[in-house]
Structure 1
Amino acid sequence: MTETVSIPTLSGDAQFSAYVARPAGGAKAAIIVIQEIFGVNPGIRQKCDKLAAEGYLAVAPDLFWRLEPGVELDPDVEQEFERALDLMGKFDQDQGIRDIEATIHHIRRDMGITKVGCVGYCLGGRLAYMTAARTDIDASVGYYGVGIDGLLREKHAIAHPLMLHIPTEDGFVDKDTQAAMHEGLDDHPKVTLHDYEGLDHGFATEVGKRRNEQAAQLADRRTSAFFAANLS
């Protein structure tokens, strides 16, 4: 079952929407699905639906709501891709993390699910790292997160498991950045990094030209095993 719910901000002075996919039976845990720069589009909703089929309550908050509620863009359409880049430039990531924290609180308080993880893609991959460092989320996964090298100073605050999927030919994450991520995180007891040789940004998207089927399935299997181990 799917629905749209309203989530109060941490301050309680406003609300934002979230797409929710519920499993057929009782949820074994909840997973927050953190959007790319393209909003809560069909691909992100499909991610939620697949997680619900695995027995999780999946929640995708609209993090661009302060800029424009209900953004849904197609990365394969050049004009929409450019619009997404513009939105990303205007987006307050620190505020976005507070909205993710509000989503965690809502799931635990109002939906009655204690164990909460998150998985993010692109911008969401970066936000998944920030969520691991700045909240009490139980487990986090980031796919092709951008600019994580600039966040390594926060790594000591990561108290719960984090997994990062890194395509080695990512057009938005150069080799030096990838090397810095490995140097900074390989010895972290809570962090696991997986490289995907020869692949580019967006390889695990559900729809569109960027998907690499074999690698996407491998990464998703690793993510499923990670959540099964850390959200039980």
Structure 2
Amino acid sequence: MSADRHPADLARLWRTTGPSRLGRPAELDTERVVRTAVELADRDGLDAVALAKLATSLGVTTMALYRHIGSKDELLVLMQDLAIGLPPKPTADPDDFRAGLRQWASAMRRMYAAHPWLADVTPASPPLGPYSVAWMNQGLALLRPTKLDWGEKLAVIGLLGGYVRQSAQLAVGFAQAGVDTPEAEAQYGRSLAELIDPENYPEVAALVASGVFGTMPSSTGGDPAVVPEFLYSLDVILDGIG
């Protein structure tokens, strides 16, 4: 779906369509449909959000869903925006854009951890829903102290958001493959040591010989926004912006 959406799609995205004034109040609305879909995805993954299963969870027919969502593609857009939610208010000094962006990116990384399926959903458009626009608005506000123009500010927000998303995708992929543990990393190092020729791959050979694999802390079960690898790369990006 493109950013050029049908007015009805945008109305549902921003929840500007009110309940019918005729007859009894509707037992089902867009908000309830989307929240239930997000709960299913959080619990069982995105593949679990089939319209038939969603309808069963809501106690309605599949056709009844189309009164509140235009299509499965639209449902994914609605789910993305709702799952993103509002960004937490920054506590950094308003004049310290670097600290503010660090908090912004860390909060986004935690949001992806709360909804692992989000990292696998390709954004259907630039920020368009109320929650995704709120994140963009906050990121731009944090860049007020800089001398960047609007295009540069937008590029910075896109760069940081892309980095956080990639970090979340890697974490999900490693967890699914069972390699997000020191033991698995150590096995990876041993495999490389057996496979590579130090003459052809001297830097990788030196990396393996350093013993770094298996010594890095696992991100499983902890706060993903304080994992050293995440913070190091984030700081490199922020240094570049500075």
Name the structure where strand makes up a greater proportion of residues. Answer: 1
Name the structure where helix makes up a greater proportion of residues. Answer: 2
TM-score, length-scaled by structure 1: 0.31
Tell which structure's C-alpha radius of gyration is larger. 2
